[in-house]
Amino acid sequence: MSSEMVDLDDLEVLDVDRSGMVQLLLDFPEQMQAGERLGQSAELPMAANARAIVVAGLGGSAIGGDLLRSYLSQDCRVPICVNRHYILPAFVGPETLVCVISYSGNTEETLSAFAEARSRGAKVLAITGGGQLAEMATQARVPLITVPGGMPPRATLGYLFTPLLVVLTRLGLVPDQHEAIAETVELLRELAAQYRPGVESFRNPPKELARRLYGRWPAVYGVQDFSDVVAYRWRTQFNENSKVLAAHHVFPELNHNEVVGWSGSNSLSNDVWVVMLRDHQEMDRIAQRIEITKSLLQEKAAGITEVWAQGRSRLARTFSLLYMGDFTSYYLALLYGVDPSPVRVIDLLKERLATTA
Ligand code: F6R
């Protein structure tokens, strides 16, 4: 397969990126900074005494909630859960903060969750780029954060995640995050300079990794409550940007099931390239598990690449891993000759559902 591979260092390859996904990737640090400002100026829901936080959304609008849950697992004094469904869990009531996020503002599951949160008397915050959610929130006089519109939802993570984090700090539910956000923005700017298309493959890790993944199945392994959601983000970015199937799993859980899948006799595993998301601060026991798992997979997988988190704060380390995945999925799209931005299958599904309403 590699003989047919296009040359990522020939900038004509960017012609396939007709909607300009690369600029959105490069702008991610600025988006995060703008997201912090949006969170600082937002009207707050009356939720300082909330006993639980629910983030309601789907796809690219839900992942910010997942990242929040994972990132704050040791720091938030109330549970955070993510709801990707029309209906909310039974515990949601007046003492719950429900953050309803839909970038388009028109995702029917999310609109249904908004209506349900209201009818249960929950404290509600809406984050959207417009659409019906903006209208419903305005009509209900619910605090609303409006983010710039016109982008693919998954490329607006800086606008959807950061205000949410800042709102929780302003409510006193988690410690101040300004320093961590500043470090993350700075680090992502440095990484953007290293990962941009003008930097040749031998000095550009996501280009190099995309070449390894070309013609193979990517499987991304993260670590619970640190890079678990990042591994999922890599997978969904491979799906939506590169238009390929991908798998993900999480340590230590994968040592109790998935690892057995590698021990079988079929040869399909030979086409799987494993990406391990590593962190210099991972628990010793987790590091030992990863090393043993690597030794078990070595002979079976097409290959294993370790990607190490960079930066000091937990936030910077998390987003350094995520950013590498975003760029890798982008370069893999270019290798396959597909435009990273459109997600026609999702659009088609939404259209067909609309006609059966
Ligand atoms: C990501 C994407 C989808 C949407 C999802 C929900 O780019 O296209 O995952 O995020 O279909 O739509 P929104 O985010 O508009 O509520």
- DSSP string computed for 301-354: SSEEEEEE--SSSHHHHHHHHHHHHHHHHHHHHHHHT--SS--HHHHHHHHHHH
The string of pLDDT tens digits covering residues 121-172 is 999 999 999 999 999 999 999 999 999 999 999 999 999 999 999 999 999 9
Distant-in-sequence, close-in-space partners of 287: CB < 8 Å, separation ≥ 6? none
Nearest atom, ligand 1, residue 59 CA: 9
- Name the burial class of residue 142, with classes exposed (0-12), middle (13-18) and buried (19+) by CB atoms within 10 angstroms of its CB: buried
Q: Note the pLDDT tens digit of each residue in 25-66.
A: 999 999 999 999 999 999 999 999 999 999 999 999 999 999
Tell me: pLDDT of 2 over 90: no
CB of 60 closer than 6 angstroms to any ligand 1 atom: yes
Q: Closest Cα to residue 310, out of 210, 157, 192?
A: 192
Return mean pLDDT, the chain.
96
Distance of CA 27 to the CA centre of its chain: 16
Q: Is the CB of 58 under 6 A from ligand 1?
A: yes
Mean pLDDT for 261-265 is 92
Q: What mean pLDDT comes out for the span 74-99?
A: 96
Helices then strands, each counted (H, E), the chain: 13, 9
Is 256 an active-site residue?
A: yes
| pLDDT at site 348 | 92
106 alpha carbon – ligand 1 mean position (Å): 10
Question: What SS3 state is found at 232?
Answer: helix
Q: Looking at the DSSP assignment, which residues form a beta bridge with residue 128?
A: 102, 146
Concerning whether 350 is annotated as a catalytic residue, the answer is yes
Q: Give the whole-number percent of the chain exceeding pLDDT 70.
A: 99
pLDDT at 349: 92
pLDDT of residue 354: 87
Which listed residue (36, 109, 240, 282) is catalytic?
Answer: 240
Residue 304 phi, psi (nearest 5): -130, 130
| Catalytic annotation, pick one of 4, 12, 256, 351 | 256
Least confident of 32-36, 205-209, 345-349: 345-349
Structure confidence at residue 55 (pLDDT): 98
Q: What is the mean pLDDT of residues 329-353?
A: 95
| Rounded average pLDDT over 192-205 | 98
70 lines ligand 1 (CB under 6 A): no
Closest C-alpha among 130, 150, 153, 133 to residue 60: 153
Cβ of residue 64 lying under 6 Å from some atom of ligand 1: no
Are the C-beta atoms of residues 101 and 110 closer than 8 Å to each other?
yes
The share of the chain scoring above pLDDT 90, in percent, equals 95
Cβ–Cβ under 8 Å, residues 250 and 276: no
Pocket test for ligand 1, best of 101, 127, 154 (most atoms within 8 A of CB): 154
> Does the reported pTM lie above 0.85?
yes
pLDDT band, residue 103 (cuts 50/70/90): very high
**3-class state of residue 52 by DSSP:** strand
Each residue of 210-225: b (16+ CB within 10 Å) or e? bbbbbbbbbbbbbbee
What are the beta bridge partners of residue 126?
Answer: 100, 144
Pocket test for ligand 1, best of 103, 109, 147 (most atoms within 8 A of CB): 103
- What's the DSSP call for residue 242? I
Ligand 1 center–CA 233 separation, angstroms: 13
Residue 128 CB–ligand 1 contact under 6 Å: no
Strand, coil or helix: what is 101? strand
Q: Is 61 in the pocket of ligand 1 (CB under 6 A)?
A: yes
Q: Is 109 helix (H, G, I), strand (E, B) or coil?
A: helix
Residue 194 has pLDDT above 90, yes or no: yes
* CB of 152 shorter than 6 A to ligand 1: yes
Task: Tell me the one-letter amino acid at 271.
Answer: D
Q: Which amino acid is at 168?
A: L
Tokens read off for 232: 């999922």
Ligand 1 closest atom vs CA 155: 7
DSSP 8-state class, residue 95? T
Structure tokens at 288: 């030992």
